[in-house]
Structure 1
Amino acid sequence: MERSLLKPVVAGMVTAVVGFASSFTVVLAGLRAVGADSRQAASGLLALCVAVGVTTIVLSVRHRLPVTAAWSTPGAALLLSTGPVDGGYAAAIGAFLVCGLAIMATGMFPALGRLVARIPQPVAAAMLAGILLKLCLAPVAAVSQVPLMAIPVIVIWALLHRFARMWAVPGALAAAVVAIVVTAPSLTFDALPVVAPAVPAFTGSAMIGIALPLFLVTMASQNVPGMAVLSGYGYRPPFGEILLTTGAGTAAGAFLGGHAINLAAISAALAAGPDAHEDPARRWIASLTSGISMIVLGLAAGLATALVLLAPPVLIEAVAGLALLGALAASIAAAFRAGAERGGVDTAGVATAGVEKARVERAGVERSGVESAAFTFVVTASGVSFFGVGSAFWGLLAGGAFHLLMNYKDSFRSTRVTESA
């Protein structure tokens, strides 16, 4: 292999391994939470790997850009926090399918994207933080319940997080695997890929409790940041086509148990940055290699599922929680940043009544935004369920309603100004 090709190929393989190892436990735990058995969970993981791989290959080759797809890790955490819904696993499959169709529709009709963008950013971030909170508490619970297994995992994660951050979660996973193998009586798994098709069912509670929040967290916490990462490296891929492609991949994978795929965010930087290749025009080779590698990793879904089933559930949740700590911190910061950044007192020395009134009104709006975020966060994190619908939806509804209540005059004034313009 030419030396100029070796670097992006290695970068692509690292991108796939890090993406897979960092969060496949979240995927399996989420699918099990909504009713999948071991074969169905393995099938869902395989479907996601194939959908991610094929989508990445198609977009990379078509545009000669380092466009990398990934599964929705926040979406998997959502499934774990939501749990079973009316209609069982078949209803969850139906929700995955509807989510994929919604992502495709957003790519086809930009007005839908603008509608999603109207959701207050602090409210969306607080909903995601509420989803992640319970899972990120799992490492603490694991230390209490299985200390001999959990403490080495956390220590290795912390050390790698300090000295080789990219490998922190894979290292913690490796430590967990060692602990599982040492303590497990035996390990049996399907050597061949597990494919377990499912017929979707459609229930109201699954649409509201899974499909809608899954669509929102996938768009807000994956697709939009993923585009920002690519833009930061100077790339301008067609966002509408990316949504169409990832939405189609989500819809196709849903029949085998895949919950959602999207544009990669964090792992996208591994293939799009200068570490992949000095020449930006050749970095697409890294994303192409990543797609191929992800399909190969999907063939190990049966082994991964067998390891997860042998482990104490709290240990698997602990590894998943460690993987999502960064996302939790970012979500909390985004949810409560507005008031801290822009709530300062005006010291310009212009003591007019109009300026003071504007400052007071602006501070009130910012404070209400923080309060809306807090409202969303506590309702989502509470885990309450009404009418078979999980807390993610109720948190979004409560926070959004409170935000509108506190800002309805400003929203009305903004609408009037837009219409008059």
Structure 2
Amino acid sequence: MHRDRTIELLRTGYPWAASLRAGRPAVATRLLGRQAVVVGGPAGVRRFYDPRLRRKGSLPAPLGLLLFGPGTVHGLDDAEHRLRKALALGVITPTTVAALGERAEREWAVATARWTERQRVVLFDEAVQVHTAAVLPWAGVPAGAGELPRRARQLAAVLDGFATPGPAYLRAVLARLRIGRWAKGLVRGVRAGRVHAPDGSALQRAADATDQRGTRLSDAAAATALLNVVRPTVAVAWFVAFAGKALHEHPEWRERIAGGDAEAVAAFVHEVRRLYPFVPVLAARAREAQDVLGVRIPRGGLVVLDVHGTDHDPAHWPEPDRFDPGRFLGPPVDPDTLVPQGGGDVTTGHRCPGEDVTLTMLAVAVRALARAPHAVPAQDLGYDLTRVPTLPRSGVVLEAARVAAAADGSR
């Protein structure tokens, strides 16, 4: 019998699954007290999204309830999943994503203009605030200027601590309770006619959503649906921090992006997501006993997708730990080799419905950073792969143009 590797996953973080697989498409193990198989690479990605697997019960409750909330689409299957997925896709359309991007552009313009008034800023903190200020009004959520910073901190705290045992997890639990109560209050307010939600907004659609029987979702489930649109947008702040690090370390790409090279922006964004994925693994459960790429799994057994290892597979990504957006300037890559936000079909499967939001918000931030005059002082830009989600240790400290110019003149 295989030994349980749950503690090993918690201690090792992102490299765990690839180390266990050692280049194999699938390897048997034990996780969370269940028989499991870890899969990766294109074959593993395709198998992970096989309909013989389900998502319900695949995540331990302390993690799933904290990050996603009760009744989340991430833990649903079949008709129930399709119905809830349609709710998200009704909010996230090409037109609405473009509108969100325009809001983000305005917020970044305001933020970067204010940098000259401050000696230093932490890019990660700025991104959290900018994205919250953009996404809440876009989602139809009424939030005054005084409330936005608090909600931004709470959303970031949930994301920062969901997979980190200790004080960060406790802070995440407290933040999740507070943000959940706030979201339920918004839903109740809309349903009672006390809060106005613009037609077609995430808040309006969540408040009006029904289940398969046509029964209106509970306040908690509707609040979860709302937060599952808002929270991932704030999560893009982690990618923005790594983008700031990459722009500093690769000034030739900063110049291309600042010069208006749209292909360079798209390639840069994809490489940031490939090199620095948000989660190390994803999980599903077997509906019935079955063979998974040569490994026999019982009903209820876990199938774990190696996200980080797939995005760093040297068979598909030469020198996988090297930052090189040029990988994305040639022919389109195999979508099953790039899964920072999951794989499969976004409409019918479990691929993240907010992937277009991530791409848009990250592209907007990258352009704003490339064009904003700033310097990056000496700091620790390293990151810890044993911590999930990881982040440059400094948060990426920037000095505004006024301070940078003075430093240049003293040389």
TM-score calculated relative to the size of structure 2: 0.26
Higher helix share: 1
Q: TM-score, normalised by structure 1?
A: 0.25
Q: Which has the higher strand share?
A: 2
